[in-house]
């Protein structure tokens, strides 16, 4: 499947997605020359270029009637998540990890459905205690 990464999503998620899901294509708005394009036209253009889904943080695409209709008309899927409440490396790692953890399920579901669907990717916990346990080693 082909995934288009909207310009509001960090392109830092692309290398791990490409490495792990090498049978699928992940391209950015910058790589496709589609930065600054308004969403209804963008959805139509991305569909015409053979993409199956847009990966984004723009949840307004689902509530804006014109944008939602563009997804329905083209049959494109919406794959997105809330912007993590983090900055820098933690922001990048959380975004990449959320997509990596969700992608097997996204791919499985996409293969079994027809028509436009939305896939809401859940972010991971950002607190150290949610992701890590540290214990001193004793002899």
User: pLDDT for 28-67, tens place per residue?
Assistant: 999 999 999 999 999 999 999 999 999 999 989 999 999 9
CATH number for the domain running over 2-122: 3.40.50
Tokens of 9: 């999503």
Sequence spans of domains, the chain: 2-122
> What's the rounded Cα separation, in Å, for the pair 43 and 47?
6
- Place 84 in a pLDDT band, splitting at 50, 70 and 90: confident
Quote the pTM value.
Answer: 0.91
pLDDT digits (tens, 9 = 90+) for 88-129: 998 999 999 999 999 999 999 999 999 999 999 998 877 777
**pLDDT value at position 85?**
82
Tell me if residue 100 falls in helix, strand or coil.
helix
**pLDDT value at position 127?**
75
């Amino acid at each position: 499947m082909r995934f288009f990464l909207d310009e509001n999503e960090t392109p830092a998620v692309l290398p791990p997605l490409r490495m792990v899901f090498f049978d699928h294509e992940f391209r950015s708005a910058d790589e496709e020359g589609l930065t600054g394009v308004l969403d209804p036209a963008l959805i139509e253009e991305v569909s015409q270029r053979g993409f199956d889904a847009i990966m984004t943080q723009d949840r307004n695409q689902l509530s804006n009637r014109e944008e939602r209709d563009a997804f329905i008309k083209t049959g494109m899927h919406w794959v997105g998540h809330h912007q993590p409440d983090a900055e820098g490396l933690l922001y990048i790692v959380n975004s990449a990890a959320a997509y990596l953890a969700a992608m097997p399920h996204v791919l499985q579901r996409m293969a079994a459905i027809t028509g436009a669907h939305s896939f809401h990717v859940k972010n991971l916990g950002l607190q150290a205690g949610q992701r890590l346990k540290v214990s001193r080693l004793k002899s």
